[in-house]
Structure 1
């Protein structure tokens, strides 16, 4: 192997590792920071759900449904949405606090 081919091999190996190891996170900014809630609620644990990325217009509702699935909560308080890209895979995530209506 010549010196140039070794350098090219090392360069492509480093670029490949950087591509796989890098992740990008973006957070949805269209969620209001404060809301007035007129119901009596009992806040519970923090819930997280992830789904493969989708262009479906109802993706936020799907994430909330996934977070509440098999839990004993009625709503997800202050949901924070994220789009995470790691290498070539892209997924959606929601984090919020589960709550029960009294």
Structure 2
């Protein structure tokens, strides 16, 4: 059981870092945007959201493929973690 929890914790660390990195890039980019500000911000937001989703999916696939224990429960937890962190990104960064 400890191995299972360690695997989940490692994946959560990866997911959190991806969300933090995309949030930081989006924030930095939105501060420098000047032309058609709202459209630029919306485009950047959706671009980051799409990229984050793809990266989380890619990391989840790799992680599930290399996991040694946990089976379906681990897969479910990893996909739930992806969903949680995507929702967190949306909550933090969705253009108003």
Question: Scaled by the length of structure 2, what TM-score is found?
Answer: 0.30
Higher-strand-fraction structure: 1
- For the pair shown, the structure with the greater C-alpha radius of gyration is 1
Q: Which structure shows the bigger proportion of residues in helix conformation? A: 2
Normalising by structure 1, we get a TM-score of 0.29
Greater relative contact order, per chain length (Cα 8 Å cut-off, separation 6+): 2
